[in-house]
Structure 1
Amino acid sequence: MNYPAWGTVMGQPFGVAAYSNIGFVFDRNKIHEYQCYWPKEETGLARDVYIGFKYQCVEYARRFLTLYFKAAFQDIPHAHHIWALETIEDCTKEEGTFPFVNFPNGSKEPPKIGDIIIYPYSKEQRFGHVGVIINVNLEEKIVDIAEQNYEEAGWECPEYARRLIMKIENGQYFITNKRIGKPYDNWDAKEEIFGWKRIDFNPKL
């Protein structure tokens, strides 16, 4: 199967483009071309934001949250480290944060649009993985994910990268890694999911 080349737009849910990372070959001499910074003078936000390394999964998740919620999580070594973050920066202010709340897979709180889904470190995913939840249908028990650089595969369609089956048992919500449509490979059925994270814009005082 022929996948789009590096930098090709794969989809654009909620106006946030996701790009192909296929065929990327790291060149240390071009590192500044890969790193993406948004100066506050250009964005209208109250602070500069480091978006990330094109076109990795972390870069997409941070860019989505910055554009959609005007909030950005701090720089982290790898995607799975996002799970340990307790706060996320409020980019509408020079200083200030919101709680960044974890919902472990199997929580009694269902995922919502704008939550990010986090995968742990594993043999298959050496850096973990992060994607953005862009659709939740509790009746049909499906969750749609937008992402970059998931096993260097293309999107199912322009609306989402993967459509995952959700299980609801005893009031608990589980996002499985069983996708509706053609699987990427046998290994993704073995992948675990930490859960989903959400920005708490109204923390209890």
Structure 2
Amino acid sequence: MQNTTWGAIMGQPFGVIGYSNLGFVFDRDRIHEYQTYWPKEETGLARDVYIGFKYQCVEYARRFLTLKFKAAFTDIPHAHNIWALDIIEDCTKEEGTFPFVNYPNGSKEPPQFGDLIIYPYSKEQRFGHVGVILNVNLEEKYVDIGEQNYEEAGWECPEYARRLIMKIENGQYFITNKRIGKPYDNWDINEEIFGWKRIDFSQKQ
């Protein structure tokens, strides 16, 4: 069984570690330990990057994009607010952005590696949720997701947290919250998904 204590490594797909947030108890006196900043002097990027609050879902998503694509979205109040962002910062320059494009669930454009999957606010997910799409299999109709702080059950395996069924109807792509793999509680099976969000590298601004 995986170690799911706070800060334990749940997986490391593509060299980006996903950590457990299980058992986290906020201590205001330790807030500096929870917030992660990457100074440009240490990363070789052209600007400082605020990565996020350990080990929340937003922190994982921003860290993944920064490590794999050298781009980081701005600080936001909650995960669902990412859907409203129009741009993402190009960290290879002191100034500059890329368009940050929304593909609503049911789009004719399929998800791809590195897209963010965004959930809205709900009763169960009071701040929404964000994960990273790690793999898309159009033939077998599923996507693999990497994420932090979604639930207490840990990751399905070191390569991904959840494998979600994807429906393809009339040329439209729908990511569902129905999982392939070990059983979980079904509290989330009907949770809405906004869609996926992608960096448009062809349009430097």
TM range (shorter): over 0.9
Distance 1:142 1:61 in 2: 20
| Residues 97 and 204 in structure 2, CA contact (< 8 A), matched pair in contact too | no
2:18 equivalent in structure 1: 18
1:111 equivalent in structure 2: 111
2:194 equivalent in structure 1: 194
Distance 1:200 1:184 in 2: 35
* Distance change (3 Å), C-alpha of 1:98 and 1:154: same
Q: TM-score, normalised by structure 2?
A: 0.97
Query: Percent identity of the aligned residues?
Result: 86
| Residues 4 and 20 in structure 2, CA contact (< 8 A), matched pair in contact too | yes
Paired AA for residue 86 in structure 1 = D
Distance 1:102 1:68 in 2: 19
Cα offset for 1:182? 2.8
**Matched residue of 2:189: which SS?**
helix
Aligned length: 205
Gaps of 5+ in 2: none
Q: In angstroms, what is the RMSD of aligned CA positions?
A: 1.3
Paired AA for residue 160 in structure 2 = Y
Distance 2:119 2:183 in 1: 17
Deviating beyond 6 angstroms after TM superposition, the runs of 4 or more aligned structure 1 residues are: none
1:146 equivalent in structure 2: 146
Gaps of 5+ in 1: none
Alignment of 1:76-87 (within 5 A): 76-87=76-87
Paired AA for residue 60 in structure 1 = Y
Cα offset for 1:183? 3.8
For residues 34-88 of structure 1, the C-alpha deviation after alignment (integer angstroms, 9 at most, x for no partner) is: 0000000000000000000000000000000000000000000000000000000
Q: TM-score, normalised by structure 1?
A: 0.97
Distance 1:203 1:170 in 2: 29
